[in-house]
Structure 1
Amino acid sequence: MSLRNKVTLIGRTGKEVEIVKFEKGQIAKVTLATSDFYTNALGEKVEETQWHNLVANGKTAEIFEKYVEKGREIAVEGKIVYKSYDDKDGVKRYITEIRVEELVLLGGK
């Protein structure tokens, strides 16, 4: 049995898509908000929002650039990538990204 690193998310973009161009192509970066709801001990409905960093390249990056704007509802499928780097003060920082492999445009803003 083969295990894969795979994630599917549905949410709304939190900012405009950032395009970073390279000699051999481009990548698209954007944040995605997903929300869950639950009822707390007082019987109040509570919304809990998680933010995800999305990164896409190739044709998927081109679709992001052309069709995705802040507030757009989308569904993505991809894999989780963990990265680390040292900031200017030498402190190790960690980033979690979703490397988007599939993008589906849902409702508008």
Structure 2
Amino acid sequence: MASVNKVIVLGNLGRDPEIRYMPSGDAIANIAVATSFKSKDRNTGEQKELTEWHRISFFGRLAEIVGQYLKKGSSVYVEGRLQTRKYTDKDGIERYATDIIAENMQMLGGRAGGGDDGAGDHDSGYEQQRPAPRPAPRQASPTPAPASPPQPRQGTGGGAGGSPPNPGPRPGSMHNDFDDDIPFAKSACAMQTIEF
């Protein structure tokens, strides 16, 4: 049976990132991100804004980037997965905690202002390195391409002077294949994605 473990969080850091290093030298960064939502009080009918805090962990190069560029108040978009861990508290009681393990991160302009390096001037995206590539999706039969108006070809003849064919999207970069449909995606404020 197929299953999905995917989390998307968009919010602001409640404190500066905590950075640690493993004995191997790999970085680990932990952040707390606040998200909010509005709820109506059943008794008074009054709208209240409620805040939820999310613990998010980053590993490797992505953790180093978090430590370098994010700070309290920074606005961030994170994609990841839930992971539950068991630990024993100071009273000897076994407890469970569920954290988000980050796989992708977008730094967004926001309350912190971005600092002197200009990081707040545009969106920057980072993707966590994955240990193994995902298998390609199975295709039962070829599917026809969606109908679109024919595009004029540039140049003449056997394609020697033309541009190379587009190999299509790379695995793990599905968010990059939508710029053709969105007219403003190529503006100066478009999201920049960096993959490792």
More moved, 83-92 vs 64-73: 83-92
Residue in 1 aligned with 2:16?
16
For the aligned residue pairs, the C-alpha RMSD in angstroms reads 1.4
Q: Give the Å deviation of 1:46.
A: 0.5
Displacement of 1:77 = 0.3
State the TM-score, normalized to the length of structure 2. 0.53
2:27 matched residue in structure 1: 26
Confirm or deny: 8 A CA contact 2:27 2:61 kept in the other structure.
Answer: no
- Listed as ranges, the gaps of 5+ residues in structure 1 are none
Task: Tell me the residue number matched to 1:77.
Answer: 79
Displacement, 1:22? 1.5
Taking only the aligned residue pairs, the percentage that are identical comes to 39
Unaligned runs of 5+ in 2: 112-196
- In 2: Cα distance, 1:44 partner to 1:89 partner: 40
| TM-score using structure 1 length | 0.91
Give per-residue Cα distances to partners, 1:46-71, cap 9 Å, x unaligned: 11111111100012101101110001
CA distance in 1, matches of 2:22, 2:74: 26
Task: Using the TM superposition, give the Cα deviation of residue 103 of structure 1 relative to its aligned residue in structure 2, in angstroms.
Answer: 0.5
The one-letter amino acid paired with 2:74 is R
SS in 2 for 1:61: helix
Separation of aligned partners in 1, 2:87 and 2:48: 35
Residue pairs, 1:1-109, within 5 angstroms:
2-24=2-24, 25-41=26-42, 42-109=44-111
Q: Give distance in 2, aligned partners of 1:52 and 1:106.
A: 17
Q: Please give the secondary structure, in 1, of the residue aligned with 2:29.
A: strand
Cα distance, 1:2 vs structure 2? 3.2
Counterpart CA distance in 2 for 1:107 and 1:2 is 36
How far apart are 1:45 and its partner, in Å? 1.6
Deviation beyond 3 Å, 4+ runs, structure 1: none
**Secondary structure of the corresponding residue to residue 66 of structure 1:** helix
Deviation at 1:92, TM superposition (A): 1.1
Task: Please give the alpha-carbon distance, in whole angstroms, between the structure 2 residues aligned to 1:89 and 1:36.
Answer: 34
